[in-house]
């Protein structure tokens, strides 16, 4: 139950931040929250939907021409977790 509740809290926080960033005209924060706000609910359900969730995020990143943003995050991830370097994310 704790995992689901923590994921729900993260979901609600991202929705709140998205709303406030829209009101304040902070397009970068709005875009990030809009991209990721549903992910905590997917994570709460278990691993069976992770590939689908990642593919949806990829599609939205491609649609919004934010590929460089995602590529930078991948490189940061590999720097932090070098054991995954040989398991390339698509």
Whether residue 89 lies inside any domain: the answer is no
Average pLDDT over residues 16-45: 94
Whether residue 37 lies inside any domain: the answer is yes
Q: Give CA–CA dist 90/85, Å, rounded.
A: 12
Whether residue 29 lies inside any domain: the answer is yes
Domain span including residue 9? 2-84
The pLDDT-based confidence of 1 (bands split at 50, 70, 90) is: confident
Q: Give CA–CA dist 40/55, Å, rounded.
A: 15
The total domain count for the chain is 1
Q: What is the mean pLDDT of the chain?
A: 92
Whether residue 53 lies inside any domain: the answer is yes
| Per-residue DSSP letter, 70 | H
């Amino acid at each position: 139950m704790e995992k689901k509740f923590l994921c729900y809290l993260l979901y609600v926080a991202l929705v709140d931040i998205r709303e406030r960033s829209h009101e304040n005209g902070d397009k970068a924060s709005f875009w990030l929250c809009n991209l990721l706000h549903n992910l905590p609910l997917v994570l709460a359900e278990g691993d069976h939907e992770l590939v689908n969730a990642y593919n949806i995020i990829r599609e939205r990143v491609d649609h919004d021409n934010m590929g460089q943003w995602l590529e930078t995050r991948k490189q940061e991830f590999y720097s932090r977790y070098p054991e995954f370097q040989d398991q390339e994310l698509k």
